[in-house]
């Protein structure tokens, strides 16, 4: 997806909600015994249009959806329900006010994060983003994103806090493996690090967080030398797991969703978690 195409990125941010509706349309068509060609005829469109609608590969138009539902024999109540869901799906995501300061990959993946049941992270040198304090996050951006203004930096810290709160509200489980190097790297000064350590101590007491801290003197393992890796698992039929590989000064990242690639990273994260100390040892490392 082109990084300079905000319209495309906004559309991708609604993918999950649209995919749920698209899957329902396909199910209704098949239950009615109607072919894609017949559905396309009802729309006065090419069969490829129906195929794209059922894959959520195009925006869902209310008039088209209404026509398809009537063709499939849906009742009035079901039609109203689905069209109501479409209106909600077309609304801007909660992150819309921060879109001007978000990285392109965040815009692409925010709907996935907002529906994630499990988020797994490998962080080689810093505190994982979703466990950072606002002050620590601003200090990191001051170094990594010199292109950002102070105001933009503050807005990004606000977004991080909102992400963290929403993930807790939706009971998303965060499982992170980080290097102890983060605890020995001064980010933002002594007071910022003291606050960050306290935040980590509080986080490891929560039931929705597992944190493993790989020691500085630990042996080389499969994730050694790899950039920050984040895996999102969403319990929505048809929505694959996603992996984000970070590591660019300008906020660019590689987003993967292919089964083979995601499975490979799943194995790597499992391996790193097995080698890392038990989560209880993290509490000692933070004391």
Other Cβ atoms less than 10 A from the Cβ of 258: the count is 12
Domains 6-89 and 96-286 share a fold: no
Q: Which residues lie across from 232 on neighbouring strands?
A: 119, 242
Q: What is the pLDDT of residue 226?
A: 94
| Spatial contact of 216 and 181, defined as CB atoms under 8 Å apart | yes
Q: Which residues lie across from 116 on neighbouring strands?
A: 234
Which residue in this structure is represented by tokens 């300061």? 101
| Spatial contact of 142 and 153, defined as CB atoms under 8 Å apart | yes
SS3 of residue 245 by DSSP: strand
Mean pLDDT by 10 residues, the chain (287 residues): 38 65 92 96 95 86 95 95 90 91 89 92 97 98 93 98 96 97 96 97 96 94 93 83 85 90 96 94 87
Q: What is the pLDDT of residue 148?
A: 93
Residues found in the chain: 287
Other Cβ atoms less than 10 A from the Cβ of 286: the count is 19
User: Could you tell me the residue ranges of all domains in the chain?
Assistant: 6-89, 96-286
pTM of the model: 0.81
Q: What is the pLDDT of residue 108?
A: 78
Integer-rounded Cα Rg, in Å, for the chain is 22
| Domain 6-89 is found in CATH 1.10.260.40 | yes
Name the CATH topology of 96-286: Endonuclease; Chain A (3.30.870)
Q: What is the pLDDT of residue 55?
A: 83
């Amino acid at each position: 997806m082109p990084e300079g195409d905000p319209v495309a990125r906004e559309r991708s941010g609604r993918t999950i909600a649209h995919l749920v509706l698209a899957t329902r349309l396909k199910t209704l068509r098949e239950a009615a015994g109607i072919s894609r060609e017949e559905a396309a005829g009802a729309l006065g469109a090419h069969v490829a249009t129906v195929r794209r609608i059922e894959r959520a590969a195009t925006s869902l138009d209310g008039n088209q959806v209404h026509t398809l539902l009537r063709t499939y024999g849906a009742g009035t109540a079901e039609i109203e329900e689905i069209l109501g869901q479409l209106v909600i799906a077309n609304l801007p995501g909660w992150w819309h006010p921060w879109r001007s300061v978000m990285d392109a990959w965040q815009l692409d993946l925010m709907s996935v994060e907002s529906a994630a049941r499990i988020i797994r992270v490998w962080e080689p040198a810093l505190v994982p983003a979703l466990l950072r304090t606002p002050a620590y996050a601003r200090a990191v951006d001051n170094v990594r994103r010199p292109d950002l203004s102070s105001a933009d930096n503050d807005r990004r810290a606000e977004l991080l806090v909102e992400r963290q709160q929403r993930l807790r509200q939706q009971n998303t489980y965060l499982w992170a493996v980080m290097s102890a190097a983060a605890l020995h790297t001064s980010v933002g000064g002594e007071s910022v690090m003291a606050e960050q350590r306290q935040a980590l101590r509080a986080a490891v007491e929560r039931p929705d967080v597992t944190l493993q801290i790989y020691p500085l003197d630990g042996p080389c393992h499969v994730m050694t030398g790899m950039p920050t890796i984040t895996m999102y698992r969403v319990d929505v039929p048809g929505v694959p797991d996603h992996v984000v590989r970070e590591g660019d000064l300008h906020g660019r990242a590689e987003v993967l969703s292919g089964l083979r690639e995601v499975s490979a990273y799943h194995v790597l994260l499992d391996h790193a978690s097995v080698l890392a100390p038990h989560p209880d040892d993290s509490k000692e490392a933070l004391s």
